[in-house]
Amino acid sequence: MKFELFHQEAPRACANFLNLIRRGYYLGKQWDDFSPVVRQLGTAVDLKELPYQLPREFSPKRLFNEGGLLCLANTTEDSRARGHPCRIFITVKPQERWNLNYVVFGRITDGIEVAQAMLYGEPVTSIEVEGDADRLLTKYATQVAEWNAILEKSPMP
């Protein structure tokens, strides 16, 4: 699958995702929590176990009007809550009821059929980032350094 990241609308979610990729967080993780509309990845943990949380960056430009969206899981159902830093999901069909409830930070540009055909427990074997990830990571270097310092003390589950 290939993704386009929405770094204009959800820059911190994108920077966090890129940072976790560079740290190798998602390698070997299994796609789990399947439903007819989503495939989730990353550890689902209690809020007390999360080393940090992310702001929920909503954009009216990024709605659930199509499948293939890359989204940040929420830490709770409370709309004022922060975003889960490591739990992501991909939609496989539209879900308008989630508009402005979950952060959409990217979309599949090639390979939606791969997401639709994924098997429960299938691991991530490789992730390649195309484009200039350094630009976004440099823009949020202070925040990335804070996240990494936290992760060094208390790794993401």
> Where do the H-state alpha helices sit in 64-120?
112-117
What the block records as the tokens of 116 is 């639709």
Tens of pLDDT, residues 99-130: 988 899 999 999 888 888 888 888 898 888 87
Q: For residue range 129-148, what is the model confidence (pLDDT) as tens digits? A: 878 889 999 999 999 999 99
Name the strand (E) or helix (H) holding 153.
Answer: helix 141-153
What pTM, to 2 d.p., does this model score?
0.90
CATH number attached to the domain at 2-153: 2.40.100.10
